[in-house]
Amino acid sequence: MPLVIAMDGPSGSGKSSASKGVARALGLRYLDTGAMYRAVTWWLLENGVPVEDAAAVEARAGEPAIASGTDPDAPTITVDGTDVSAPIRTRAVTNAVSAVSSVPAVRARMVALQREIIGSGGIVVEGRDIGTVVAPDAPVKVYLTASEEIRAARRAKDLAADPGASVTVTQAEQARRDRLDSTRKASPLTRAGDAYEIDSTELSLAEVIEAVVRLAKEHE
């Protein structure tokens, strides 16, 4: 299989920055699958669909056209042609996305789209189930972790513009999201048996990128 690098792990583990950095370093494309689940969630909220109601979510989740651009220097995400890269990062979407992504019909649709984009490879794909479900044959699988405190601090920094996003609030919301993402029935967040685990708590971004690039080169 041509190079596919699966990057899984919980929120705030540094997956996005590391994945983009690895894609740039190796001249690969980049896909943020979390952005796709966020985009569906954004659309459902916009359209007044009760996101905790799995049947209602399933009934409508096929409607929005989700498109992802894979340039690591300028990744894009659109819903029905509208750029949603900013609104999908709001707390409203962040706090609703776990419920939406636990619905099997949503996952089936996203996984099919993701496999289409992965195509014949040459891509770094970040998410929760890439090494386990989306691309189980990926030659390079990484499971990125970091301590809960570091992850909350990183997330709070991402949300600095949001006045409600203190470290304490972020940590509680993140713990809830990780719990939901790890305990849902449909492809929960879990480390693939053959994934290489990197704990980024004590590592710089450059060190994480270097470690993944080294792994990728071993597989050439």
Q: Is position 14 an interface residue for ligand DC (rule: CB under 6 A)?
A: no
Instruction: Tell me how many degrees the CA angle 65-159-53 measures, rounded to the nearest 5.
Output: 45
User: Would you say 21 or 127 has its CB closer to ligand DC?
Assistant: 127
Do the beta carbons of residue 27 and residue 213 sit within 8 Å?
no
Binding map of ligand DC across residues 72-111, x = CB under 6 A, - = no contact: -------------------------xx--x----------
As measured in angstroms, the least distance from the Cβ of 70 to ligand DC is 15
Cβ count near 48 (within 10 Å): 8
Please identify which residue in the block is written with the tokens 């699966």: 6
Alpha carbon 56 to chain centroid, angstroms:
23
Amino acid at 218: E
Closest residue by Cα to residue 201 from 30, 9, 72, 22:
9
Binders in 126-155 for ligand DC, by CB under 6 A? 127-129
Q: Is position 11 an interface residue for ligand DC (rule: CB under 6 A)?
A: yes
Q: Is position 13 an interface residue for ligand DC (rule: CB under 6 A)?
A: no
Helix locations, 15-166, DSSP H? 15-26, 33-46, 54-60, 91-101, 104-118, 148-158
User: Would you say 167 or 220 has its CB closer to ligand DC?
Assistant: 167
Instruction: For residues 166 and 164, give the distance between their C-alpha atoms in angstroms, rounded to a whole number.
Output: 6
As measured in angstroms, the least distance from the Cβ of 220 to ligand DC is 26
Q: Is position 37 an interface residue for ligand DC (rule: CB under 6 A)?
A: yes
Name the DSSP class of 182. H
User: Would you say 10 or 216 has its CB closer to ligand DC?
Assistant: 10
As measured in angstroms, the least distance from the Cβ of 50 to ligand DC is 18
Q: Using CB under 6 A, count the residues that bind ligand DC.
A: 13
Q: Is position 174 an interface residue for ligand DC (rule: CB under 6 A)?
A: no
Determine which helix (DSSP H) or strand (DSSP E) holds 143, and give its type and residue range. strand 140-145
Among 68, 72, 103, 181, interactor with ligand DC by CB under 6 A: 181
Q: Is position 173 an interface residue for ligand DC (rule: CB under 6 A)?
A: no
Instruction: For residues 186 and 102, give the distance between their C-alpha atoms in angstroms, rounded to a whole number.
Output: 6
Positions that interact with ligand DC (CB under 6 A): 11, 33-34, 37-38, 97-98, 101, 127-129, 177, 181
